[in-house]
């Protein structure tokens, strides 16, 4: 898909389709008004006849509008002007995309970016529009015997801004949004692939191919033998019941000088989580193929920042394993030794995410990181606490936590902080080892965060629990690509190279 920013007058654009918005009770947006003026009141006349009243979700496709060069004009209902916010803007973009697809338009001039969205500016509306269009293009067809529908005709979207002076920053914003959208789609594809295809070794191959595709990314793969040598007894304990070998995947993106300390992203890559010997109930267990969505977001974010050529160094680490019950599997009560030297009593083999992450977090020390952020579908408790709207954030450093919260707000990919208090940490006490791997039912998301906190004392660290946000259930079942936007914005801000 090609994205262009242009500051020309709407009515003089040669395009398959001009897109403008209409608020409720037939109130034309400023752009729609100017098209209406060029068309000698044609739009007002149609609205008065009752063709559209501007409710959210409405779309009206017009052919042969006088006074404009475009083949068609597409009016999108925006709802009440006073209530026009992030969500409604996103819905308007979705309506636009489906109408353009139905019309078979090859290109479009989108004036919706000029709309005033509460608390946002033109760079935000352009970024969000590019990101939405990329996302809406995504279909999962890797495992279908025939493609479901014909590929959409839309090839090019022009974002129409009012002023010439806005064009440069908006151009960068469209690149950022498109890179985020493509990064999300990569994360979604990896997430959606089933556990029998997307194994730890498959993820390692995908990393290699990302390294080949993207200048600036170099990939290192550690197999079980290499991890054994490093003493990663905790990570290795998780894959012991699986026929699939575990992998530690390390992706280096170098966009700055060698001496620049990298930001490190660590992803939970459990390619299937049966729970192990502490086996999960059957209902909905298929969704545990999504237990590598943290890892997938590391892939997506690395691709996005490499496309954007951010002047920053980033290391992406993926701890990949499959959690299965078997004669060789780790059992409740087993005690393992992590790479840090700390011993762990595995009271529940279903609390495996923290076991793979802790060794990856210890491994991260060697990069002398500027910050470390881990991303994990870690606890069902997080879904209970925050639902499917916000990620959970915890950390040992307020500046990293606050930067993530701010990035989430900026990218409309929001997160909410939970407290990592000492008193919660005490719940991890074990009579037989340095710690247990679970803290009981109460505050399950926080005790999981406390567990990770015991391995991150050497650097600034935050943890994102994406158990509720990384995928959707029900008839829309599928990976969401979150938190790629949050992470990309976080790194853009660290590189101080964002459009905003």
Q: Which of 193, 445, 187, 223 is nearest to 295 (CA)?
A: 187
Which residue's CB comes closest to ligand BES? 380
Shortest Cβ 92–Zn ion spacing (Å): 37
Shortest Cβ 376–Zn ion spacing (Å): 8
Shortest Cβ 444–ligand BES spacing (Å): 5
Residue 474 CB contacts under 8 Å (≥ 6 apart), including other chains: none
Which of Zn ion, Mn ion, ligand BES, none does residue 467 bind to, with CB < 5 to 8 Å depending on kind? ligand BES
Q: Which helix (H) or strand (E) holds 126?
A: helix 122-137
Shortest Cβ 337–ligand BES spacing (Å): 21
The answer to whether 454 and 439 have CB atoms below 8 angstroms apart is no
Per-residue H/E/C for 371-397: EEEEEECCCHHHHHHHCCCCEEEEECC
Decide if 118 is catalytic.
Answer: no
Shortest Cβ 353–ligand BES spacing (Å): 5
Which residue's CB comes closest to Mn ion? 350
Cα–Cα distance, 381 to 318 (Å, whole number): 23
* Nearest to ligand BES of 194, 311 (CB atom): 194
Q: Which residues are at the interface with Zn ion (CB under 5 A)?
A: 270, 273, 291, 353
Indicate the SS3 state at residue 115: coil
Within residues 352-371, the interface with Mn ion by CB under 5 A covers 352
Show the tokens assigned to 69. Answer: 């060069």
For 371, phi and psi rounded to 5 degrees? -160, 155
Binding piece for Mn ion, criterion CB under 5 A, among 194-202, 244-252, 259-267, 345-353: 345-353
* Cα 2 from chain centroid (whole Å): 21
Cα–Cα distance, 450 to 432 (Å, whole number): 19
DSSP 190-245: HHHS-TTTS-HHHHHHHHHHHHHHSTTEEEEEE-HHHHHHHT-HHHHHHGGG-SSP
> Does residue 350 belong to the site contacting Mn ion (CB under 5 A)?
yes
> Does residue 224 belong to the site contacting Mn ion (CB under 5 A)?
no
Cα–Cα distance, 308 to 175 (Å, whole number): 7
Residue in 9, 280, 472, 500 annotated catalytic: 280
Decide if 168 is catalytic.
Answer: no
* Nearest to Zn ion of 269, 353 (CB atom): 353
Shortest Cβ 276–ligand BES spacing (Å): 9
The DSSP output letter for 432 is: S
Binding mask 239-278 vs Mn ion (x if CB under 5 A, - otherwise)?
Answer: ----------------------------------x-----
* Nearest to Mn ion of 273, 345 (CB atom): 273
* Nearest to Zn ion of 189, 273 (CB atom): 273
Which of ligand BES, Zn ion, Mn ion, none does residue 348 bind to, with CB < 5 to 8 Å depending on kind? ligand BES
Q: Which residues are at the interface with ligand BES (CB under 6 A)?
A: 273, 291, 348, 350-353, 377-381, 383, 438, 444, 467
Shortest Cβ 94–Mn ion spacing (Å): 34
The answer to whether 31 and 111 have CB atoms below 8 angstroms apart is yes
Residue in 172, 188, 354, 454 annotated catalytic: 354
The answer to whether 48 and 26 have CB atoms below 8 angstroms apart is yes
Cα–Cα distance, 445 to 466 (Å, whole number): 11
Cα–Cα distance, 15 to 155 (Å, whole number): 12
* Nearest to Mn ion of 224, 273 (CB atom): 273
* Nearest to ligand BES of 125, 271 (CB atom): 271
* Nearest to ligand BES of 22, 351 (CB atom): 351
Q: Annotated catalytic sites, by residue?
A: 280, 354
Q: What residue ranges bind Mn ion (CB under 5 A)?
A: 273, 350, 352
């Amino acid at each position: 898909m090609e994205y262009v920013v242009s500051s020309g007058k709407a009515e003089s654009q040669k395009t398959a389709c001009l897109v403008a918005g209409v608020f409720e009770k037939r109130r034309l947006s400023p752009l729609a008004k100017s098209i209406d003026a060029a068309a000698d009141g044609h739009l007002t006349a149609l609205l008065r006849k009752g063709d559209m009243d501007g409710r959210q979700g409405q779309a009206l496709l017009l052919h042969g509008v006088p006074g404009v060069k475009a083949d068609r004009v597409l009016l999108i209902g925006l709802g009440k002007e006073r209530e026009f916010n992030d969500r409604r803007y996103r819905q308007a973009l979705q309506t636009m995309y489906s109408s353009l697809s139905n019309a078979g338009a090859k290109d479009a001039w989108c004036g919706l970016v000029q709309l005033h969205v509460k608390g946002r500016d033109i760079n935000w509306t352009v970024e969000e529009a590019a990101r939405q269009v990329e996302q809406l293009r995504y279909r999962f067809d890797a495992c279908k015997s025939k493609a479901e529908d014909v590929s959409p005709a839309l090839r090019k979207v022009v974002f129409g801004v009012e002023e010439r002076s806005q064009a440069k920053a908006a151009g960068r914003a469209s690149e950022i949004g498109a890179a985020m959208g493509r990064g999300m789609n990569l994360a979604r594809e990896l997430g959606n692939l089933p556990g029998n295809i997307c194994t730890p070794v498959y993820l390692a191959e995908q990393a290699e191919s990302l390294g080949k595709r993207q200048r600036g990314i170099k990939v290192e793969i550690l197999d079980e033998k290499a991890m054994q040598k490093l003493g990663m007894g905790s990570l290795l304990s998780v894959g012991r019941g699986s026929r699939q070998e575990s992998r530690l995947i390390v992706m280096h993106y170098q966009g700055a000088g060698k001496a620049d300390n990298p930001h490190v992203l660590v992803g939970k890559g459990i390619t299937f989580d049966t729970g192990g010997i502490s086996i999960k109930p059957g209902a909905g267990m298929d969704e545990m193929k999504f237990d590598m969505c943290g890892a997938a977001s590391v892939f997506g974010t690395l691709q996005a920042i490499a496309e954007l050529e951010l002047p920053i160094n980033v290391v992406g680490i993926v701890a990949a394993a499959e959690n299965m019950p078997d004669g060789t599997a780790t059992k409740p009560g087993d005690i393992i030794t992590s790479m840090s030297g700390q011993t762990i009593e595995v009271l529940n083999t279903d609390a495996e995410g923290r076991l793979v992450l802790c060794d990856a977090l210890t491994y991260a020390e060697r990069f002398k990181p500027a910050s470390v952020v881990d991303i994990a579908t870690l606890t069902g408790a997080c879904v209970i606490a925050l639902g499917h709207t916000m990620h959970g954030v915890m950390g040992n450093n307020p500046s990293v936590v606050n930067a993530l919260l701010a990035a989430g707000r900026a990218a409309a990919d929001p997160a909410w902080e939970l407290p990592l208090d000492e008193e919660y940490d005490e719940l991890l006490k074990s009579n037989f080892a340095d710690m247990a791997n679970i803290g009981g039912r109460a505050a399950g998301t926080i005790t999981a965060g406390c567990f990770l906190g015991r391995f991150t004392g050497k650097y600034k660290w935050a943890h994102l629990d994406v158990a509720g946000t990384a995928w959707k259930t029900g008839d829309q079942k599928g990976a969401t690509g979150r938190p790629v936007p949050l992470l990309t914005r976080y790194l853009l801000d660290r590189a101080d190279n964002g459009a905003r």
